Amino acid sequence: MLPESRSKTMASQAMKIAALVSVGQHPLSRRERRADQDARAVELALSLSPELPSLIHVGSARNESLRAYLGMGLNNLKVLNADQDVDAVPALASYLGEQALDIVLTGVRAECGEGSGLLPYAVADQLGWPIVPRIVSVVSIAGGYAEVWQALPRGQRRALRVPLPFVASVDPAAEPARQSAFGPAQRGSIDSRPCAAEPDQARANWQQHPAKPRPKRLAVAKGGTAAERMKAATAKPQGQGGQVITEGTDREKAEAILARLVAEGVVR
Amino acid sequence: MLTDWLLPILLFGALALMLIGATRRVLAWRAGRNEPVAVVAGLMAMPRRYLVDLHHVVQRDRFIANTHVATAGGFVAALALALLVHGFGVDSSILNGLILLSAAGMFVGACCIAWRRRNPPGRLSRGPWMRLPKSLLVFSTSLFLITLMTADWFPAGLVGWVFSGLLLIGLALGLAEMLVGMGWGGPMKHAFAGALHLAFHRRPQRFGGGRSTGLKPLNLTDSTLGVAKPTDFAWNQLLGFDACVQCGRCEAVCPAFAAGQPLNPKKLIQDMVVGLSGGTDAGYHGSAYPGKPVGEAKGNPGQVIVDGLVSAETLWSCTTCRACVEECPMMIEHVDAIVDMRRFLTQERGETPGAGVQVLDNLIATDNPGGLDPARRFDWAADLELPLIADVGKADVLFWISDGAFDQRSQRILRAFVAVMRAANVDFAVLGNDECDSGDVARRLGDDATFQRLARHNIEVLGRYEFNRIVTTDPHAFHVLANEYGDFGGHYRVQHHSMFINELMEQGQLNLQPKALGRVTYHDPCYLGRYNGEYESPRSVLSTLGIEVQEMTRSGYRSRCCGGGGGAPITDIPGEYRIADMRVDDARAVEAETIAVACQQCTAMLEGVVEPRPQIKDLAELVSEALVTEARA
């Protein structure tokens, strides 16, 4: 039943869809690239309508890494020209408001810069549209409503009915983006237009330093049947065990850690 | 007499028809992309290329070489003489005698071909090619007897209307095959297209004992990147496809075909012929692509090749081992064509299969195929205190590490080679983290943009320092540095470690105590052997180690690929067998206990074969194990 409804609504109706794209950053080389989640948003946008979606970026039109989005088979990318220190939200909201769009897709959060994940919410708020976070697919669009699937932890999905137009962020569990081809990427055009953007005053006062990844606790399930171990491995973490040791000598602390490691089976 | 007025009509009619067909054919080639060639020099060089270079390849099969000399030589001579005698009416008993001699030679050759075709091996095409020896016999016999008749050397009583009529019909049939068929796409097309192909070959350096194996750079501003339609090939590539004689020697050596992957180099070239002339592959009578039926492929000069003519898996099955190119008696360039079409798939369609997308994205973002932290490239040598060329400024040898730096098995080879160089007190240095992937894999996966970026980066880095030569343990990097960076301004003296170690041995720089290893065979890496002609140095190194190499049936220029080239392990097109398994079976057949290799990719592929199997050791490891270590003072 599902594929049928998809073919009916997805192919026949020309929807106006926009994807907001940012300049990403490779986690290891720190090199600029197409952001993975934004690319997934573009991939989803491409699958929704026979008409090509529009791509929108706030920043510099001279950034060559934006071309990787064009390499997914798009002819055109619209850049709202702005400096790095501006707040993208008002610029986007005023531009999107003029475009008579049905759906605006974004990634969940940017790969560099502030990366707070608030942008889709703020844009939707200014437009007065609903926001659906973390969708993985749009199942059908009919009668001014879209049925979307939202990603929940551990592979669960929630079906939601949303009135058009709406803003949605695309979860990393959505279809991975297609390969970006060099030829179309070079030939696509990047059009820039000025926009009235204000510098982000709040951010100007912040201090920034690199985040430190925190190590995760290993939960090793022992014994029981295979099904029980599977359940233990996939279940939501219930209240954390362990203890916080602030008192005592370094030796005592080290012994406590060692005992724990032995108990977990990390050290034999 | 009937023959007096009919013979010239037959001869000149057939010639005219051939010329019309040939002109159409030439126009079909010229629909390809422009590529300048030295026309006069090429035509002048053609006889030599045909008689020497091509014959050298054909001679690997002595029987067919001699047969071809008799048949082709007899035919050309007989036809030229027949034109003089029967066409222009020159009456000379000497010429008549020569016609008889040529036709007889042709007849003997045709008999040999017919003999070979009684029960032809699977690699040979059938269909019209089974008809060819009969046509040759009919032509030579008819011409022989007609010449006897017109020269009045025939017992008069036997000559009658019926008899001479039959002979003329025979001659007409022969001419239809030999001349009309030559212009209109019959089996004899190979003679006319082949001659021009030799004259206008895209790699003239291959003639006269030279070598040309580097891929041609792609112009990244082309309106279509790579080859989408047959007309996107250079015109002389199209000409080259038409030169194919469907002998199937390529098919017999193709590792992908043997593994049951959907590739057959001969069929691929024939499909290109279908594409350039328009039609279907229903007229193809050779082996199919494994697992794919014949007769369903359609194409024409303006149609995208991967949309109906050749499937993408066929193109991705190739390991770029160049065995087909090495074996082709017509010197057709299969690998160039395959990579040209891959370029379209990757750079226009964005359809690199399997893990190819990930590998290319990684190369773009991190300059290594694994997507690992580029700042950790040099970690493998943390304890070796290797001199960085950035610190020392210059060195005799620049040691090119390659991506083996990120792979634990390859690191053992690198460390062994460092030990060898240290033992010989070589003045060497490394680039450390400034080195990037050579671009080999990106290029073979069709991403020439990434290859060119990496090449330019590496050339820029190498340009900062002074060194006499680059030495690497990776034949792929060796090939790219030596043969493909030149197009971007990087000209270096590059050596593979086998060549370098051999030099050290010859100079007596290494103090060695060979160890007994049992039976050892040597596996020639494609990119060292066929791509760079280096077969001797590794064998010489092994013999200095006191090893008597047990040669596998397929070794030297006929070495079977390990399956690891051309990005094949990345795109991973399914087949019935694994190429690496077949290669290890080759080694088992000579009861080898150790396979000596000279390439980290071959090491990885062959060690991936399930045990029990011969152990796999790189040359550097074998040499370093034999080093006599002096106690440090």
The answer to whether residues B246 and B379 belong to one domain is no
Distance CA B576, CA B259 (A): 6
CA distance B586 to B551: 10
pLDDT at A137 over 90: yes
From the list B365, B367, B449, the residue facing A182 with the nearest CB is B449
A71 to chain B, any CB pair closer than 8 A? The answer is: yes
Tally the domains of chain A: 2
Closest Cα of chain A to B365: distance in Å?
6
Please tell me whether residues A194 and A232 are part of one structural domain: no
Number of CB pairs, chain A paired with chain B, less than 8 A apart: 50
> Is B235 contained in some domain?
yes
- Residue appearing with tokens 């199942």: A139
Q: Tell me: do B242 and B312 sit in the same domain.
A: yes
Q: What is the CATH number of the domain that holds A77?
A: 3.40.50.620
User: Are residues A255 and A170 both part of a single domain?
Assistant: no
Structural domain span for residue B140: 2-199
Cα(B463)–Cα(B489) distance, rounded to whole angstroms? 10
Cβ of A182 and B374 within 8 Å?
no
What's the rounded Cα separation, in Å, for the pair B165 and B174? 14
Nearest to B241 by CA among B124, B326, B322, B338: B338
**B515 within a domain of the structure (yes/no):** no
Are residues A182 and A241 both part of a single domain? no
Asked if residue A92 is part of any domain, the answer here is yes
Nearby residues of B596 by Cβ (< 8 Å), 6 or more positions away: B520, B521, B522, B523, B538, B542, B547, B549, B617, B618, B619, B622
| Chain B nearest-CA residue for A33 | B365
Confidence of residue A233 (pLDDT cuts 50, 70, 90): confident
Q: Is B384 in the same domain as B453?
A: yes
Closest-CA residue of chain B to A31:
B365
Residue B462 CA neighbour count, 13 Å, CB half: 26
| Same domain flag for A11 and A67 | yes
The closest alpha carbon to B28, from B300, B339, B389, B346, belongs to B300
Cβ contact, residue pair B351, A179, below 8 Å:
yes
Q: Cβ of A29 and B373 within 8 Å?
A: yes
* Gap between the Cα atoms of B579 and B323, Å rounded: 14
Confidence label for A4 from pLDDT (cuts 50, 70 and 90): very low
Judged by phi (left if over 0) then psi (alpha if -120 to 50, else beta), residue A200 lies in beta
* Closest Cα in chain B to A29: B366
Residue B391 covered by a domain: yes
pLDDT at residue B157, as a whole number: 64
Which member of A28, A33, A184 has the closest CB to residue B348?
A184
> For A120-136, what is the mean pLDDT?
96
Q: Does A64 touch chain B (CB under 8 A)?
A: no
Count CB atoms within 10 A of the CB of residue A83.
Answer: 10
Shared-domain flag, residues A66 and A102: yes
Determine the residue of chain B that is closest to A28 in CA distance.
B373
Half-sphere exposure of residue B534: CA atoms within 13 angstroms, side-chain side? 24
DSSP label of B423? H
Q: Residue B597 forms beta bridges with which residues?
A: B618
Q: Is residue B512 part of a domain?
A: no
- Regarding whether B330 and B259 lie in a shared domain, the answer is yes
End-to-end CA distance of chain B: 104
Cβ-Cβ contacts under 8 Å, A183 against chain B = 224-225, 347-348
Task: Kindly provide the residue ranges of all beta strands, DSSP E only, lying in B246-389, ordered along the sequence.
Answer: 279-280, 298-299
Residues A120, A194 within the same domain:
yes
The reported pLDDT for the residue numbered A268 is 73
Domain membership of residue A212 (yes or no) is no
Residue A215 lies in a domain: no
> B481 with B535, same domain?
no
Q: Does A157 contact B at CB distance below 8 Å?
A: no
Q: Judge whether A114 lies within some domain.
A: yes
Tell me if A198 is assigned to some domain.
yes
* Residues B398, B296 share a domain: no
Q: Which residue of B has its CA nearest to A180?
A: B350
Verify whether the Cβ–Cβ distance B350 to A181 is below 8 Å: yes
**Claim to verify: residue B478 and residue B410 sit in the same structural domain:** yes
Same structural domain for residues A143 and A233? Answer: no
User: Residue B472 sits in a domain of what CATH number?
Assistant: 3.40.50
In-domain check, residue A220: no
Distance CA B419, CA B460 (A): 29
Q: Are residues A241 and A169 in the same domain?
A: no
CA distance B52 to B46: 10
Mutate to test the interface with A, among B222, B349, B454 (most CBs of A within 10 A): B349
CA distance A153 to A169: 16
Domain contains A216: no
Same domain? B85 vs B185: yes
For A105, the enclosing helix (H) or strand (E) is strand A103-107
Nearest alpha carbon to residue B268 among B200, B201, B327, B341: B341
Structural tokens at position B259: 């593994």
**Gap from B348 CA to chain A (nearest CA, Å):** 5
Under-70 pLDDT residues of chain B: 1-3, 156-159, 630-633
0.85 surpassed by complex ipTM: yes
Does B361 map to a domain?
A: no
- Test the A interface: residue of B225, B376, B453 with most A CBs within 10 Å: B225
Do B178 and B75 belong to one domain? yes
Query: What is the residue-averaged pLDDT of chain A?
Result: 87
Would you say B401 and B414 are in contact if contact means Cβ atoms under 8 Å apart?
Answer: yes
Using CA atoms, how far apart are residues A150 and A161, in angstroms rounded to an integer?
A: 10
Which positions in chain B touch A31 (Cβ < 8 Å)? 365-366
Domain assignment present for residue A210? The answer is: no
- Domain for residue B357, yes or no? no
- Bridge partners for B388 per DSSP: B430
Residues A168 and A241 reside in one and the same domain: no
Asked if residue B136 and residue B27 are part of one domain, the reply reads: yes
Quick one: DSSP state of residue B310?
S
Q: For helices B161-175 and B2-30, give the axis angle rounded to 10 degrees.
A: 10
Residues A159 and A230 occupy one common structural domain: no
Contact A72 B364 (CB under 8 A): no
Q: How far apart are CA B291 and CA B98, in angstroms?
A: 51
Contact criterion met (CB < 8 Å) for B225 and A182 = yes
Q: Are residues A139 and A186 in the same domain?
A: yes
Contact B347 A178 (CB under 8 A): no
Segments forming the whole domain that contains residue A108: 2-204
Give the pLDDT confidence of B236-267 residue by residue, as tens digits.
999 999 999 999 999 999 999 999 999 999 99
CA B624, distance to chain mean position in Å, is 34
**Tell me, what's the pLDDT at A240?**
60
Per CB-CB distance under 8 Å, the chain B contacts of A26 are: 365-366
Nearest C-alpha neighbor of B431 from the set B479, B474, B487, B381 = B381
Q: Beta strand pairing status for A166-170 and A157-163? A: unpaired
CB < 8 Å & 24+ apart, contacts of B289-292 = B289/B262, B289/B263, B289/B264, B289/B314, B290/B257, B290/B260, B290/B261, B290/B262, B290/B263, B290/B264, B290/B575, B290/B576, B291/B260, B291/B262, B292/B262
Q: For chain B, what is the domain count?
A: 4
A28 touches chain B (CB under 8 A): yes
Domain membership flag for residue B595:
yes
Pairwise CA distance, residues B438 & B459, whole Å: 10
Whether residue A255 has pLDDT greater than 60: yes
Same structural domain, B483 and B532: no
Whether B350 and A73 lie within 8 Å, measured CB to CB = yes
**Same-domain check for residues A166 and A257:** no
Looking at the complex, does the CB of residue A16 fall below 8 Å from at least one CB of chain B? no
**H or E stretch covering A141:** strand A131-142
User: What span, in angstroms and rounded, lies between the C-alpha atoms of B595 and B519?
Assistant: 9
Residue A155 region by backbone torsions, left for phi larger than 0, else alpha for psi between -120 and 50, else beta = left
Give the C-alpha distances (Å, rounded to integers) separating B421 from A69, B417, B478, B509, B623.
47, 6, 18, 10, 11
Indicate the burial class of B384 (C-beta count within 10 angstroms; 0-12, 13-18, 19 or more).
middle
| Cβ contact, residue pair A181, B372, below 8 Å | no
Of residues B3 and A167, more confidence is placed in: A167
With respect to residue B385, please indicate whether it lies within any of the assigned structural domains.
yes
Same domain, B499 and B529: no
Give pLDDT, residue B423: 95
For residue A28, give the nearest of B348, B373, B447 by CB distance.
B373
What SS3 state is found at B23? helix
